[in-house]
Amino acid sequence: MKDEKEKRKVARKIADDITLRERPNDTIVDLEDGTRAIISKERLEECWFKTEEDKEGAKRIIIDYHNKRDLIKKLFIVQPLYYDESKLWWAWRRKEFKWEIVDETDILNFVKELSYYDTIKSKERTEILEALKQEGRLKKPKDIKPTWIQFKDLIIDILTGEKIKASPDYFVTNPVPWSIHKENFEGTPVMDRLFIDWVGEEHMKILYEVISYCLIPNYPIHRLFCIIGFGMNGKSCFLRLLKKFLGEDNVTATELDTLLTSRFEITRLHKKHLSRFMI
């Protein structure tokens, strides 16, 4: 048994040497999960050993697998994916710390990029997609609590103050794209001055409450906020500020009449922090 293991080790070393001769700018790396990977030397020198985040983000090419299912399991370690009950594909975006909808072409490109597997031939493509779907259905991330808000890479429970590092374990699609202050507090004198100029000091708190309400992932208060006033008094400026604060991907726009008459228009509101209506 020991001799067989040594033979496999020698055979693998020979295969690795042949691969590296074909790709002289790459190197072999043994990953913590037992997977072996080919990594670009330039990428390795830039960030592989700097931080855990960079290590996770480094491009890996999976070469050590026995069959399609084994390849898929290793691929999910490198690139988290989820195939939901509505037959939608979701991929974890490391830089944005969120889940994002992708299609089958994106998925096949992941496979090609991370394994050099043939995704063109019909039979191979069908088999690899079916294996991905079966494994992806099992990789459902946890739903977040209604009181959780994600700021960039940190999830905060607004009731308990608990802090959780953002990860693929939690199904978040609309994080606020700004990091929170390390002491959970930061003065906003410029916003204070603008709000006082727009609505007066007695109503300034209302504008902050509107911003705060838009951060919550659910709708505990079933209300529309109407901004009414004459021209040049801050309505459009406040909406631009709100859009910037929440992130452009978290904001949508529609017409109230269209929303009431079209049964498909409501999908525009899905997973959005803010929807603007023009009346």
- What is the rounded average pLDDT of the residues 247-263? 83
Q: How far apart are CA 197 and CA 200, in angstroms?
A: 6
The pLDDT assigned to 61 comes to: 61
pTM for the full predicted model: 0.71
CA 245 to chain centre: 18
How many CA within 13 A on the CB side of residue 261?
5
Answer whether residue 85 shows pLDDT above 90: yes
Residue found under tokens 């505990």: 220
Name the average pLDDT for the chain: 79
pLDDT tens-place string over residues 181-235: 877 667 889 999 999 999 999 999 999 999 999 998 888 888 888 888 887 788 8
Structure-model confidence comparison of residues 185 and 127, the more confident one = 127
Band of pLDDT at residue 50, cut at 50, 70 and 90: very low
Instruction: Copy the structure tokens of residue 208.
Output: 């902050």
Q: Which of 86-100, 221-235, 236-250 has the lowest mean pLDDT?
A: 221-235
Answer whether residue 7 shows pLDDT above 90: no
Q: How far apart are CA 90 and CA 120, in angstroms?
A: 22
- What is the rounded average pLDDT of the residues 41-59? 40
* Sheet containing 26-30: order of strands: 26-30, 36-40, 61-62
The pLDDT assigned to 252 comes to: 83
Strands 274-277, 251-254: pairing kind:
parallel
Q: How far apart are CA 206 and CA 48, in angstroms?
A: 47
Answer whether residue 34 shows pLDDT above 70: no
Helix pair 104-115, 68-78: axis angle to 10 deg: 100
The pLDDT assigned to 255 comes to: 83
Q: What are phi and psi of 4, to 5 degrees?
A: -65, -40
Answer whether residue 66 shows pLDDT above 70: no
pLDDT tens-place string over residues 260-272: 888 887 777 777 8
